[in-house]
Amino acid sequence: MEEKKGVAAMAKAVYLHIPFCEHICYYCDFNKVFLKNQPVDDYLDALEREIILSLEQYPTDTIETIFIGGGTPTALNEAQMKRLMDMVARHLLPLASPNLEYSVEANPNFVSAEKLDTMKQGGVNRVSFGVQTFDDGGLERIGRTHRADDVFATVTEAAKRFDNISIDLMFGLPEQTLEQIERDLDLAFELPIQHVSSYSLILEPHTVFAIQERKGKLRLPGEDIEVAMYLKVMETLERRGLKQYEISNYSLEGRESRHNQVYWRNEEYYGFGAGAHSYLNGERRANIAPIPHYIKAEGLPVRNTTTLETVEKMEEELFLGLRMRQGVSFATFESKYGVSMRSVFGHVLTELEAKRLIETTDTHVRLTESGLPLANEAFAAFIGEARVNDTHGQASHS
């Protein structure tokens, strides 16, 4: 079975990975290293080479979003941050659309007024701060080095330059209570912010927390408490004017993260940097992760490439798109794949509707309110379940 033919999609989103941190948090499994004694300037050289090569091999006519993440991009010193901004200005901003969204992740205690100025002058118009919690004891327990006072000072300083500011909060942390979640939310609304991302703690392999869990030394809230925390976050943020537009994301109208929506809509994007992932020409690519090997790479520093079958793209369309509160458009699905969603996944949709995990409108399928805390069950239901008749190149009807 083949997708509906048309003009090849061009990637219009860019992710740049800065893998350096001043400190490694106990829950983090992203590709990152301690900043001290790292070859940062050599890394920036390699990053620029990759950008140039990738744009030559996979050109685009417009870039609509840029996101610099990590690691901790603001762990770079002022000169390195200026160099990074200049690199983006040289190679990416000439392709930028007039309404470019340009975001940088920031740590509340590693971003000076000078760095904020450099970012602003470089074209950045959105900053995302990794707050996690306002409870100083909780911050210490998860290995964060900033404290609540740092958050208020830094976000207030950033608001003098930017009118699109997001913070990350976490729930389900060690020894965290529902009352602390309520306090975190109250304090969040004392900040000049337009967006909140709220994530539950996930125990990833090879992290400090995973080791503590195996030793029985990690005291986490129970599953029922964690669900109550999620519902409290959702209800409070909605009531106070931040609309939920994705399972973990809330914003004022028009301040949704356009970059992240590229991922959820299963659209193509560039990923530059050690360990970064790209989705180009229907292929998912993972870059070399170890920094020394990334720096020495000849040509594009790609470690592996996966060419997706059409049925895999269809499955991704559903389990990524259902993260968004508006859900997945029937018309968009049919436009992309040349078959109706119900002809491919009708049996799954019927099953999930019966469980009241999803609901359908005339135009979309989406998670129900009661389905939000059980989203992973709904997502998993689509894996390996596309019903396609390979002989005739058409999806079979359920």
Residue 347's domain is classified under what CATH number?
1.10.10.920
Q: Pick from 242, 264, 286: which residue ends a domain? A: 264
The CATH number of residue 189's host domain is: 3.80.30.20
Given a cut of 70, is residue 182 above it in pLDDT?
yes
Which of the 8 DSSP states describes residue 74?
A: G
Residue partners of 14: CB distance under 8 A and separation at least 6: 63, 65, 66, 67, 92, 269, 270, 272
What pLDDT, on the 0 to 100 scale, is given for residue 27?
58
Residues 256 and 377 in one domain: no
What pLDDT, on the 0 to 100 scale, is given for residue 36?
66
User: Does residue 277 lie within any of the structural domains?
Assistant: no
Q: How far apart are CA 88 and CA 52, in angstroms?
A: 11
Given a cut of 90, is residue 23 above it in pLDDT?
no
Residue partners of 239: CB distance under 8 A and separation at least 6: none
Residues 211 and 336 in one domain: no
Residues 58 and 207 in one domain: yes
User: Does residue 347 lie within any of the structural domains?
Assistant: yes
Q: How far apart are CA 264 and CA 258, in angstroms?
A: 10
Residue partners of 170: CB distance under 8 A and separation at least 6: 132, 133, 142, 198, 199, 200, 201
H-helix or E-strand spanning residue 317: helix 310-321
User: Does residue 1 lie within any of the structural domains?
Assistant: no
Residues 259 and 321 in one domain: no
Grade residue 29 by pLDDT with cuts at 50, 70 and 90: low
Tokens 């530059």, residue located = 272
Residues 384 and 253 in one domain: no
Among 11-15, 78-82, 107-111, 375-379, the minimum mean pLDDT is found in 107-111
Residues 122 and 247 in one domain: yes
pTM for the full predicted model: 0.92
In the predicted model, what is the mean pLDDT of residues 170-180? 95
What domain count does the chain have? 2
Given a cut of 80, is residue 204 above it in pLDDT?
no
User: Does residue 288 lie within any of the structural domains?
Assistant: no
108-136: pLDDT as tens digits: 998 999 999 999 999 999 999 999 999 99
Residues 237 and 359 in one domain: no
Residues 331 and 234 in one domain: no
Q: Pick from 264, 291, 323: which residue ends a domain? A: 264
Residues 61 and 128 in one domain: yes
Q: Pick from 264, 290, 318: which residue ends a domain? A: 264
What domain range includes position 317? 310-395
Residues 151 and 40 in one domain: yes
Q: How far apart are CA 196 and CA 180, in angstroms?
A: 17
Given a cut of 50, is residue 301 above it in pLDDT?
yes
The percentage of the chain sitting over the pLDDT mark of 90, rounded to a whole number, equals 82
Q: Dig out the tokens for 21 from the structure.
A: 């941190």
What pLDDT, on the 0 to 100 scale, is given for residue 250?
99
User: Does residue 295 lie within any of the structural domains?
Assistant: no
User: Does residue 335 lie within any of the structural domains?
Assistant: yes
User: Does residue 278 lie within any of the structural domains?
Assistant: no
